[in-house]
Amino acid sequence: MHEHSPRRRQLLGGALALPLAGRALAAPVRAPLQVGGLPVTCNLTLPIACKARAAADGKPQAAATLFEYNKYSGWPEIKESLMTGRIQAAYMLAPLVMDLTDWRIPLKIVSLGHRSGAVIMVRTDSPYRKFADMRGKSIAIPSRFAVDYLFLRKMLAREGMSPKDIEVIEMAPPDMPAALYAGAVDGYCTGEPFGAAAQRAGYARPLSMTRDEWPNYICCVLTVREELIKTNRPLVQELVNYVQAAGNWLDASPLNRDKAAHIAAQRAFFNQDPKIIKFVMDNPSDRVTYGDLRMLRAEFDELMQLSVQAGTLKRPVRYEQYVDESFVKNVRPVKVML
């Protein structure tokens, strides 16, 4: 599936009856559900889930019958596609989903996608050792709706600083390593592998990592349009089953994480150097984690309150307005055979 290609129609509703995971479909599906995602390791459970479900059918990825990864280049494109119904499912920034539902866009978060995975990078040869050293300097962020921005705010607050004490620049994550190398910014805060890419190349080092500072950090969440839930709950449940299983599989062994790096590097998914993805998986091994994908109200409430304080949300949003816990509560174990 090409990037941003229109979603092909599916047979949904009464004519389609999806059985339990692992069995053959009662009725054929004309096209797989396109699930939007970015080529970032916070989204890694998505390509693994898609590949695992295709393998369960005994078919190659291109012939997956239920859902497949559809690569996007940025959050604005995914947001637009979900808002217009061009796609009905995607990994999204949690605060962005909160904001969209506050504007009555019919979306629901149905699963987490990862834990941790954000870093704040500076040049290896820079004198910056703490955030107080960066007063008056420029730091790039992906978006003010990104949880990376909330992470940056938390780190600044610990040293009595605010975003007013630095220059905050919004920038696409793939552009950040080059901007740091060229001296266009003094640091950047983003998800992986864009921190690891510069670190592995030798010209950048982490100033701070969520694994150390915010252990229950969540950012990218599996989000679906409400009409998909209404018309095809079994399909949504199957997707959640495999996303949750992919998370457990990724954290089960270093061998699985190595396999995942090579799978995600493929053209059909991230189309990246597998060595960079593997660097994220190994340095250290909990740089991004996937095994604990529970949906906890207190964690979302914290995220919502931080977003209100940051001004990215105009007012508090009720948990039930943007979350549907039923699919995680009813998750069925499936095997990931890769």
Q: Tell whether the model's pLDDT for residue 18 goes beyond 50.
A: no
- pLDDT score, position 24: 40
Contact between 93 and 143 under an 8 Å Cβ cutoff? The reply is yes
DSSP assignment letter at 198: H
- pLDDT score, position 65: 65
Q: Tell whether the model's pLDDT for residue 271 goes beyond 70.
A: yes
Distance between CA atoms of 322 and 110, rounded to whole angstroms?
9
Q: Please state whether 201 falls in left (phi above 0), alpha (psi between -120 and 50) or beta.
A: alpha
- pLDDT score, position 59: 58
Q: Average model confidence (pLDDT) for the chain? A: 89
| Per-residue confidence band for 21, with pLDDT thresholds at 50, 70 and 90 | very low
| Per-residue confidence band for 212, with pLDDT thresholds at 50, 70 and 90 | very high
- pLDDT score, position 216: 85
Q: Tell whether the model's pLDDT for residue 28 goes beyond 50.
A: no
Residue 71: CB atoms within 10 A of its CB come to: 20
- pLDDT score, position 64: 44
Nearest alpha-carbon partner for 260 in 284, 232, 279: 279
State how far Cα 164 lies from the chain centre: 28
Q: Is 57 or 191 the better-scoring residue by pLDDT?
A: 191
| Per-residue confidence band for 11, with pLDDT thresholds at 50, 70 and 90 | very low
Q: Where in the chain is the domain with CATH 3.40.190.10?
A: 33-115+217-329, 118-213
Give mean pLDDT, residues 247-259.
96
- pLDDT score, position 16: 31
| Per-residue confidence band for 30, with pLDDT thresholds at 50, 70 and 90 | low
| Per-residue confidence band for 6, with pLDDT thresholds at 50, 70 and 90 | very low
Contact between 76 and 170 under an 8 Å Cβ cutoff? The reply is no
Task: Provide the 3-class DSSP secondary structure of residue 94.
Answer: helix
Nearest alpha-carbon partner for 267 in 1, 77, 80, 42: 1
Q: Which two tokens stand for residue 114?
A: 């990862």
Task: Provide the 3-class DSSP secondary structure of residue 122.
Answer: strand
How does strand 138-141 pair with strand 288-289?
Answer: unpaired
CATH numeric code, 33-115+217-329: 3.40.190.10
Contact between 264 and 277 under an 8 Å Cβ cutoff? The reply is yes
Q: Tell whether the model's pLDDT for residue 105 goes beyond 70.
A: yes
CATH numeric code, 118-213: 3.40.190.10
Q: Tell whether the model's pLDDT for residue 63 goes beyond 80.
A: no
Q: Tell whether the model's pLDDT for residue 265 goes beyond 80.
A: yes
- pLDDT score, position 71: 95
Q: Is 11 or 218 the better-scoring residue by pLDDT?
A: 218
- pLDDT score, position 329: 96
Indicate the residue type of 264.
Answer: A
Q: What is the pLDDT of residues 221-244, one digit of tens each?
A: 999 999 999 999 999 999 999 999
Residue with token string 């906890």: 296
How does strand 138-141 pair with strand 167-170?
Answer: parallel
What secondary structure, in 3-state letters, does 11-23 show?
CCCCCCCCCCCCC
- Helix and strand counts by DSSP (H, E) for the chain: 14, 12
Q: Is 312 or 21 the better-scoring residue by pLDDT?
A: 312
Indicate the residue type of 236.
Answer: V
Q: What is the pLDDT of residues 44-57, one digit of tens each?
A: 999 999 999 988 87
Q: Tell whether the model's pLDDT for residue 19 goes beyond 80.
A: no
Q: What is the pLDDT of residues 149-165, one digit of tens each?
A: 999 999 999 999 999 99
- pLDDT score, position 282: 93
- pLDDT score, position 43: 95
For 21, 165, 223, 297, the CA distances from 331, given in Å and listed in that order, are: 10, 45, 16, 18
For 150, 211, 270, the CA distances from 41, given in Å and listed in that order, are: 19, 14, 9
